[in-house]
Amino acid sequence: MNSTPAATSGSLAGKVALVTGASRGIGRGIALAFGREGAHVVVVSRSLDRLEEVVAEIEDKGGAATAVRCDIADRDQVVAAVEATVQAGGGLDVLVNNAQGFGTLEKPSGSPTPRPLAELVDAEWEYTIRTGPTATMWAMRAAFPYLKRNGGRVINFASGQGLRGGAGNAPYNCAKEATRALSRTAAREWGQYGITVNVICPLIRTELSDKFLADHPGEEEALLAELPLRKIGGPADAGELAVFLAGPGADYITGETILLDSGKNMGP
């Protein structure tokens, strides 16, 4: 726990935010952006050592943060993380469900294993769904009593893979599309309390994507050629969008899927 007061200026000053999957990549980028904007950020993942590094970085820049270890595959741990957030910050205003597991419960993985639908492994399907829309639902349900006090914000994550139905990724595609459906439902039900619920579909450079591109020569060049902007964003870009969705400028936006992907999946 950390009792350092949050910064008194910034678009999220006085807010308390919980960010899952915050030890690296997109989650880390969002946590750092929230800290910069004055929120007390509770960073959550299974990697406590890396979370402590994120906390230290936020504190070094004058922000306030708390690290909470949580395996999102465990419902009780998800609920406990929400309660720990309220205890640390005195409430909960912004919930960011960024974490997503792959592999199986017995053998988690940092990325999905591509498989044709006909060769789908039940344990991988079940774990991907459990750590995707199910864990997101657990967190949203636990956070709801606190979010409705002051009109909170929920930011969930989907994927262009789900939008396109990318071959070989059925569990992940279905998990992300289910998360979008969950988000739209919550947006309709919770709007009466001033709560907004939106989804980000990112194409962002992370440690995992960099490793994939390094292991597959030519993939980066081919991808860049598909992108209208001819560039791939980083975690800081996700942080800027999340700050906007969590801040006062997004009061009138809910139930939306926002494509943060250099124009890759644009459509009507």
Does 222 fall in a domain?
Answer: no
Q: For residue 222, what are the contacts with CB-CB under 8 A and spacing of at least 6?
A: none
Domain with 251 in it: what CATH number? 3.40.50.720
Asked if residue 11 belongs to a domain, the reply is no
End-to-end CA distance of the chain: 46
Q: Say if residues 256 and 24 touch (Cβ distance below 8 Å).
A: no
Q: Are 7 and 38 in contact (CB under 8 A)?
A: yes
Q: Is residue 217 part of a domain?
A: no
138-168 residues labelled b (16+ CB within 10 A) or e (exposed): bbbebbbebbeeeebbbbbbbbbbbbeeeee
Give me the domain span that covers residue 85: 16-206+234-260
Out of 127, 172, 193, 252, the active site residue is 172
* pLDDT given for residue 208 in this prediction: 74
3 state DSSP class of 142 = helix
**pLDDT tens profile 202-241:** 999 887 777 777 777 888 898 899 999 999 999 999 999 9
The per-residue pLDDT for range 31-83, each reduced to its tens digit, is 999 999 999 999 999 999 999 999 999 999 999 999 999 999 999 999 999 99
Residue 51 lies in a domain: yes
- Residue 252 bears catalytic tag: no
Domain-located, residue 266? no
pLDDT digits (tens, 9 = 90+) for 93-133: 999 999 999 999 999 988 888 999 999 999 999 999 999 99
Looking at residue 267, its pLDDT comes to 75
**Is 74 within a domain?**
yes
> For residue 59, is it within any domain?
yes
CA distances from 38 to 58, 185, 201 (A): 10, 30, 25
Structural domain contains residue 172 = yes
Contact 185, 213 (CB under 8 A): no
Q: What is the pTM of this model?
A: 0.94
CB 222, CB 179: distance < 8 Å: no
Q: What is the pLDDT of residue 167?
A: 95
Q: Could you give the number of structural domains in the chain?
A: 1
